[in-house]
């Protein structure tokens, strides 16, 4: 029997982080399956950095990104590049993760070639197709043509069922981001700001819906928290997007207890999360990862496709209103009514670090290949 070939497609840093443990897992079974890893280069430098944390390099790099490129422009480039690669490599299945433009277009290219597409982190939804934009459209669209859906939680699986996805196509696995964060945390030294005796507050913000005035409001609230609590250092990894950087720098640069830093490599970012006392973020991945370390998260959005953390009490939706951010941040930093302890001691709902094993088992079973089984819902 000819070995099936899996093509893994990544485009951004989160894609790389959450796909890397899946690639590593499949390559443990190289006698059963061939693998090829493709980068579209949507976030080129940050993506390669993330792959290196798992000793991976892309077999192909489409290098699609140019300055000032439109969504339509990058979509067209990715589609043309992937179509050519699919034609030459002839994979038996393509796998993408999450809700990026790369993930959507990889699925579309597979659909056009009538090749099965496996969607990792399937079933995340918000009520509004423009929030977040374009991610909510991307993940809904992928749901229409994916052959295998790997939702991370029971809630995301139920979303797929409501949309008419057949039960035999849905496999709840946990989130591969937890696989990645646990592996990294267990193999990396805690060294971020070890010389700072006080607390660290981490701020990450990059989502398109927060660009401009909302991001200024976020920055002003963070500055007020620094001025209110003299024992905290605010750490701000700045996204590569110039618009994001300029907005944050205009408000936060120059304060002696604010560190404006380049995006750390993934291993350093994991230790930075571990070192943090509180995280302010609009990142979906951080919402999932921080509860692993018992770090409360204030989500700088009005909606989330990850409501499990909110329901469990590990995260709280607060939007981008300056007064709300300051009030909720001050409440946790002051531990009013033991608010901080309640969030820090809540249980993470996102996984047990075995999602990649479950995905590998299901995909190989799809090809009629038996491999060691991991119970599909073990946490």
Residues designated as active site: 99, 121, 135, 206, 208, 239
357's tokens: 């094993």
Q: Are 14 and 105 in contact (CB under 8 A)?
A: no
**Whole-Å CA distances, 177 to 69, 127, 142, 315:** 28, 24, 20, 17
- Pairing, β 232-237 against β 315-317: unpaired
133: exposed, middle or buried (Cβ count in 10 Å: 0-12, 13-18, 19+): middle
**Residues constituting the chain:** 379
The span from the CA of 40 to the CA of 277, in Å, is: 35
Tell me the DSSP string of 170-219: B-----HHHHHHHHHHTTS---TTTT--SEEEEEE---GGGTTHHHHHHH
The span from the CA of 28 to the CA of 162, in Å, is: 35
The span from the CA of 283 to the CA of 110, in Å, is: 28
Fill in the DSSP letter of residue 290. Answer: G
Q: Which SS3 state, helix, strand or coil, does residue 297 take?
A: strand
The span from the CA of 109 to the CA of 93, in Å, is: 12
The span from the CA of 97 to the CA of 355, in Å, is: 13
């Amino acid at each position: 029997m000819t070995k099936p070939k899996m093509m893994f497609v990544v485009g951004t840093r989160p894609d790389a982080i959450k796909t890397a443990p899946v690639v590593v897992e499949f390559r443990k079974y190289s006698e059963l399956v061939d693998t090829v890893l493709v980068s579209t280069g949507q976030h080129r430098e940050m993506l390669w950095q993330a792959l290196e944390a798992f000793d991976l390099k892309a077999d192909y790099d489409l290098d699609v990104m140019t300055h000032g490129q439109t969504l339509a422009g990058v979509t067209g480039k990715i589609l043309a590049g992937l179509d050519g690669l699919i034609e030459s490599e002839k994979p038996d299945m393509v796998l993408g993760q999450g809700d990026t433009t790369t993930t959507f277009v990889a699925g579309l290219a597979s659909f056009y070639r009538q090749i099965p597409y496996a969607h990792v982190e399937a079933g995340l939804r918000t009520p509004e197709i423009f929030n977040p934009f374009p991610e909510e459209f991307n993940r809904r669209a992928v749901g229409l043509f994916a052959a295998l859906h790997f939702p991370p939680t029971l809630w995301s699986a139920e979303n797929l069922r409501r949309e008419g996805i057949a039960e035999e196509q849905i496999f709840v696995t946990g989130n591969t981001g937890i696989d990645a964060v646990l592996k990294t945390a267990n193999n990396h030294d805690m060294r971020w700001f070890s010389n700072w005796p006080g607390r660290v507050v981490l701020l990450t913000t990059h989502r398109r819906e927060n660009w401009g005035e909302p991001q200024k409001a976020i920055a002003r609230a963070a500055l007020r928290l620094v001025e209110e609590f003299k024992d905290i250092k605010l750490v701000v990894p700045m996204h590569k997007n110039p618009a994001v950087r300029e907005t944050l720098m205009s408000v936060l640069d120059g304060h002696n207890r604010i560190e404006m830093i380049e995006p750390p490599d993934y291993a350093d970012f994991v230790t930075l999360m571990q070192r943090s006392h509180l995280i302010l973020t609009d990142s979906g991945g951080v919402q999932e990862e921080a509860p692993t370390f018992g770090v409360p998260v204030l989500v700088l959005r009005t909606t989330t496709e990850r409501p499990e953390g909110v329901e469990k009490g590990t995260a709280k939706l607060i939007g981008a209103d300056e007064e709300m951010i300051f009030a909720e941040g001050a409440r946790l930093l002051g531990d009013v009514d033991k608010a901080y302890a309640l969030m820090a001691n809540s249980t993470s709902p996102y996984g047990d670090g075995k999602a990649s094993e479950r995905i590998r088992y299901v995909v190989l079973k799809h090809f009629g290949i038996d491999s060691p089984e991991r119970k599909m819902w073990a946490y």
